[in-house]
Amino acid sequence: MGWLIDDFLDNISSKKIYFIIAVCIIGFLIYSNTFTAPFVFDDIGTVYGNNALRELNLLLEWWSFLKPRFLGYLTFLLNYKIAGWNLALYHLTNLLIHILTTFFVWRLVLLIFETPRFKESYISTHKKYIALFCALIFLTHPIQTQAVTYIVQRFTALAALFYILSVYFFIKARIKKSLSFFIFSIFSMLLAFWSKENAFSIPVMLIVCELYFFSNFRKFINLKFIALWIFFFAVCIKFIFQLVSLSDAFGKKVTFAGENITSQNYLISQFGILIRYLKLLIILVGQSIDHYESPINNIFEPSVVAGIIVLSFMVILAVITFRKYRLISFSIAWFLVSMSVESSFIPIQDLMVEHRLYLPTFGFSLFITLIIYYFSRNKIAKKWPYVFVILILIYGVMTFARNNVWISKVSIWLDAVKKNSNNDRALTNLGGAYSKDKNYKQAQYYLDKSLSINPKNPDALVIKGALIGQQGQLDEALDLFYRALELFPNHIGAYSNIAVIYYKQEKYDEAANVYKKILEISPDNVTVYEMLSYVLVLGGQEEEAKEYMQKAIRLDSSSVDTFKKMEESLKKSRDTKSLESSETIN
């Protein structure tokens, strides 16, 4: 049996086609239960229901191609053009990006062993296995589910793909002394910038690669060398500032619960969160779609102090292993640099999210691979690869199990509530999920619990209002919607529900005015144009309705079918009223 495993490992680590087949099979197996996972959380609005993703001209009007994430939005538009809102294609695209990234992780590790620093080293004799297991850990680790199964986090996966490609081509250019590979590296870097902002650390990572794999320290601090890197940095920074503004990047943010986030308290909070990230990577428990964290202002908070100690240890370990175990040092440097944009002093509304670990997981995968290699190769001789086989099996099973949580909106939010029962956002979304499933009793329970924790949660007020509105309590529902608008004046959900209530009450003019208000907030909302046209017709304003119908059709040609259905519905309604009138006369 052992020789079969040895032969299998030797084949997939040596031959590109076998590696690709193996990665595809493993990837599809552990993510096979995700293809019907629904749009959830930030998927809604960003992807699903985003009218700008229906046509290229609408996308260009809504989101400039000079802004980060444009490339991700473009792939979502292509998905929509091919399959509409069919979930399978969106998940398949995410999985293929993950598999492709895994392939280049494998190629990158192999390429590192061709650099001057490692070409003649003893460890390079095992480079095939080290590259293979590093890639498979990256592929199968459960933490990656947040960037693969969670559709909207394609931005993260795309950025990681082009980030790794940029580093790969840079190292290739240095080895081959090739200008063409250097151009490929720059082009990949630009694509990464267009995918997500966390890729802005690429210039720093390229310097890290230069220092670790090619230059000794004396050469690195050579004035000509420094001048070249300063010029490169200046060009990159200039380009980055074309994509984002300083005020947007460093401006004060507000959490979902209304807490202020500044650069200072965001940085302080990240020290404690670092420990939680490491726990997720090492212990493999505690994953959640929503790790709601409040900002910490006190640097002497125990979790913050512990985080500073751990970070200091990581930096010291990277320094002391630089000479003798340089690849271990590099894996730590990769982890820290790739996290630097999102986990330092640039404030982001959510302090902790799992998909921020997607790219750093390459550093973690390489670190774990090297630690197991160094500690086990002498003790169990040629059997050390079996340790990885067991580890990857564990990761694969846990990834499949984690993906089962994504099977429905109820299951994903129930999991989040179990992990943190005081997370009012998770409670709100769980209540909304139960409401969609028509489990109104459970919906009411979780919405009330959310509002007991945070009475100023506008989403909870709106969802609860919609819930009691369905039960006929229209006035009470309106009160909740208007309370939500006091807290969040541009809450489209609140306005939409108010319009629906006015429609039910046959107050068509009031409903039309509310829909017009929504269009002031969201001028390209096709559904609102359709509903506005409908209530205008009901209110006898057919000429005005035609104007909005034409606008809807210009935004989305499929609105023609919607209007045909509305026309049939109106005709049936009028025929019914005519029949009732006839029966009354008789």
Other beta carbons less than 10 A from residue 322's beta carbon: 17
Residue 558, token pair as written in the block: 């499929």
User: What gap in Å lies between CA 41 and CA 35, rounded to an integer?
Assistant: 17
The pLDDT of residue 584: 36
Last residue of a domain, one of 383, 405, 427: 405
Residues 421 and 553 in one domain: yes
Residues 401 and 452 in one domain: no
Strand partners for 48: 44
Number of structural domains, the chain? 2
Query: What is the 8-class DSSP label of residue 382?
Result: G
The yes-or-no verdict on residue 374 having pLDDT over 50 is yes
Query: What is the 8-class DSSP label of residue 510?
Result: H
> Residue 254: what are its φ and ψ, rounded to 5°?
-125, 130
Residues 441 and 399 in one domain: no
Mean pLDDT of 161-183: 94
Distance set, CA 57 to CA 51, 52, 62, 64, 83 (Å): 11, 8, 9, 10, 19
The pLDDT of residue 586: 34
What crossing angle do the helices spanning 154-176 and 202-213 adopt, rounded to 10°? Answer: 40
Task: Tabulate helix, strand, coil % of the chain (nearest 5).
Answer: 75, 0, 25
User: What gap in Å lies between CA 283 and CA 402, rounded to an integer?
Assistant: 14
State the average pLDDT for the chain: 88
The yes-or-no verdict on residue 347 having pLDDT over 60 is yes
User: What gap in Å lies between CA 458 and CA 480, rounded to an integer?
Assistant: 9
pLDDT digits (tens, 9 = 90+) for 65-77: 778 899 999 999 9
Q: Which of 9-23, 32-46, 410-424 has the lowest mean pLDDT?
A: 9-23
User: What gap in Å lies between CA 74 and CA 272, rounded to an integer?
Assistant: 36
Residues 414 and 306 in one domain: no
Q: What residue type is assigned to position 388 of the chain?
A: F
Percent of all residues in the chain with a pLDDT value above 70, rounded to a whole number: 84
Beta-carbon contacts of residue 134 (< 8 Å; ≥ 6 apart): 105, 106, 109, 362, 365, 366, 369
The yes-or-no verdict on residue 394 having pLDDT over 90 is yes
Residues 147 and 79 in one domain: yes
Q: Are 413 and 426 in contact (CB under 8 A)?
A: yes
Residues 226 and 324 in one domain: yes
Last residue of a domain, one of 405, 435, 459: 405
The pLDDT of residue 233: 64
Mean pLDDT of 283-287: 94
Would you place residue 284 in the very low, low, confident or very high pLDDT band (cuts 50, 70, 90)?
very high
Mean pLDDT of 153-158: 98
Mean pLDDT of 508-512: 93
The pLDDT of residue 577: 43
Q: Are 254 and 260 in contact (CB under 8 A)?
A: yes
Q: Which of 378-382, 438-442, 452-456, 483-487 has the lowest mean pLDDT?
A: 378-382
User: What gap in Å lies between CA 235 and CA 397, rounded to an integer?
Assistant: 45
Residues 437 and 549 in one domain: yes
Using a 10 angstrom Cβ sphere, with 0-12 exposed, 13-18 middle and 19 or more buried, the burial of residue 285 is exposed
Mean pLDDT of 197-218: 87
Other beta carbons less than 10 A from residue 284's beta carbon: 16
Residues 430 and 373 in one domain: no
Comparing 227 with 350, the larger pLDDT belongs to 350
CATH of the domain at 485: 1.25.40.10
**Local structure of 260: helix, strand or coil:** strand
Q: What residue type is assigned to position 318 of the chain?
A: A
Residues 250 and 220 in one domain: yes
Percent of all residues in the chain with a pLDDT value above 90, rounded to a whole number: 65
User: What gap in Å lies between CA 171 and CA 184, rounded to an integer?
Assistant: 11
The yes-or-no verdict on residue 548 having pLDDT over 60 is yes
Residue 4, token pair as written in the block: 């079969």
Last residue of a domain, one of 405, 434, 461: 405
How long a stretch of residues is the chain? 586
Mean pLDDT of 191-216: 90
User: What gap in Å lies between CA 270 and CA 22, rounded to an integer?
Assistant: 37
Beta-carbon contacts of residue 471 (< 8 Å; ≥ 6 apart): 440
Mean pLDDT of 257-281: 92
**Local structure of 324: helix, strand or coil:** coil
Residues 90 and 73 in one domain: yes
Q: Are 268 and 296 in contact (CB under 8 A)?
A: yes
Q: Which domain holds residue 474?
A: 409-585
User: What gap in Å lies between CA 531 and CA 518, rounded to an integer?
Assistant: 11
Residues 394 and 493 in one domain: no
Would you place residue 534 in the very low, low, confident or very high pLDDT band (cuts 50, 70, 90)?
confident
The yes-or-no verdict on residue 1 having pLDDT over 60 is no
Residues 388 and 426 in one domain: no
Q: Which of 274, 397, 400 is nearest to 339 (CA)?
A: 274
What crossing angle do the helices spanning 154-176 and 70-83 adopt, rounded to 10°? Answer: 120
Q: Which of 53-57, 133-137, 157-161, 409-413 has the lowest mean pLDDT?
A: 53-57
Q: What residue type is assigned to position 99 of the chain?
A: I
